[in-house]
Chain A
Amino acid sequence: MKYIIFMIALIGSLMAAMPSFLMPDEAFKPTVIKTNDTTYEIRIELGKDIYVYEDRVKIRDLDPDDGIDIHVKKLSKAVKHDNDMVYVEPPRFALTFSGSGAKKIDVVLEYQGCSEQGLCYNPMEEKFTIDVDNSMLQSANPDVSSSNATLSESDEIAAIFEGGNIVAILAAFFGFGLFLALTPCVFPMIPILSSIIVSQGGRMSAKRGFFLSLVYVLAMAMAYTLAGILAGLFGSNIQAALQDPIVLTLFTMIFVALAISMFGFFEIGIPQSWQTRISKYSGKAGEQGGVVGVAIMGFLSALIVGPCIAPPLAGALIYIGQTGDALLGGAALFVMSLGMGVPLLVIGTGAGKFMPRPGGWMTTVTKVFGVMMLGIAIWMLSRIIPEAVSMFLWAVLLIVSAVYMGVLEPLKEGTRGFNALFKGFGVVILLYGVALLYGALTGAGNPLNPLEQLHRDHTSVASSSRTAHSVVFTKVYSLQELELEIAKAKGKRVLVDFYADWCTSCKELEHVTFKDPHVIQKMNEFVLIQADVTKNGDPQKALMKAYHIFGPPAILFFDQHGAIIKGKAIVGYKAPREFLELLNAVE
Chain B
Amino acid sequence: MKRLLVGMILAAGTLCAELDWIGYDEALTRAEDDGKIVMVMLSQEGCDACWYMDEVVFEDENVAAEIEMDFIPVHFDIKKDTIPKQFTYIGTPTFYFLTAQGDKIERLNGAANVKDFTDYIRDVKAKVKENNKKIATP
Contact = CB atoms under 8 A, between A and B. Distances in A.
Partners in one complex: yes
A118 interface: yes
A72 B122 CA distance: 50
Nearest to B56: A5
Contacts of A18: 108-110, 112, 116, 120
Contacts of B108: 18
Nearest to A121: B91
A8 interface: yes
A4 B112 contact: no
A253 interface: no
B2 A120 contact: no
A21 B109 contact: yes
A6 to B, nearest CB: 10
Contacts of B115: 12
Interface in B85-115: 89-94, 108-113, 115
A118 B1 contact: no
A118 B93 CA distance: 8
A1 B49 contact: no
A84 interface: yes
Contacts of A8: 52, 111-113, 116
Interface in A1-26: 1, 4-5, 8-9, 11-12, 18-21, 23-24
Contacts of B89: 122
Most buried by B among A53, A83, A114: A114
Contact of A120 (B1, B56, B92, B120): B92
B51 interface: yes
B65 to A, nearest CB: 20
Contact of A4 (B5, B49, B92): B49
Most buried by B among A1, A53, A118: A118
A179 B2 CA distance: 38
Contacts of A4: 48-49, 52, 111
Contacts of B5: 1
A115 interface: yes
A582 B79 CA distance: 38
B110 A19 contact: yes
A114 B48 contact: yes
Contact of A5 (B47, B52, B91, B110): B52
Interface string A81-106: 01110000000000000000000000
Interface in B46-85: 46-52, 56, 78-79
Contacts of A12: 112-113, 115-116
Contacts of A53: 46
A228 B103 CA distance: 69
Interface in A193-220: none
A347 B38 CA distance: 82
Interface in A277-314: none
B2 A24 contact: no
Contacts of B90: 21, 23-24, 119, 121-122
Contact of A118 (B46, B52, B79): B52
A4 B92 CA distance: 14
B113 A114 contact: no
B93 to A, nearest CB: 7
B28 to A, nearest CB: 25
Contacts of A122: 44, 78, 89-92
A146 interface: no
Contacts of B49: 4, 114-115, 118-120
A1 B52 contact: yes
Given A12-B115, A24-B90, A84 B48 contact: yes
Contacts of A117: 110
A120 B113 CA distance: 15
Contact of A119 (B56, B78, B92, B120): B92
Contacts of A9: 113
A461 to B, nearest CB: 57
A559 B110 CA distance: 46
A354 to B, nearest CB: 57
A120 B44 contact: yes
Contact of B111 (A56, A82, A84, A119): A119
A18 B5 CA distance: 28
Contacts of B120: 18
B83 to A, nearest CB: 11
Contacts of B112: 8, 12, 18, 118
B91 A115 contact: yes
A9 to B, nearest CB: 6
A56 B79 CA distance: 14
Interface string A115-133: 1011111110000000000
B51 to A, nearest CB: 7
A400 B108 CA distance: 93
A119 B46 contact: no
Interface in A65-83: 82-83
Most buried by B among A1, A9, A19, A121: A1
Given A114-B49, A119-B110, A120-B47, A1 B91 contact: no
Interface of B: 1-2, 5, 44, 46-52, 56, 78-79, 89-94, 108-113, 115-116, 120
8 contacts: A12-B115, A24-B90, A56-B46, A83-B1, A120-B44, A120-B46, A122-B44, A122-B92
Sort A-B residue pairs by CB-CB distance and give the 9 closest, nearest first: A118-B111, A119-B110, A120-B47, A121-B91, A83-B2, A118-B49, A118-B110, A8-B113, A119-B91
Interface of A: 1, 4-5, 8-9, 11-12, 18-21, 23-24, 53, 56, 82-84, 112, 114-115, 117-123
Given A18-B110, A115-B91, 6 more contacts: A1-B5, A1-B51, A82-B48, A115-B110, A117-B110, A123-B79
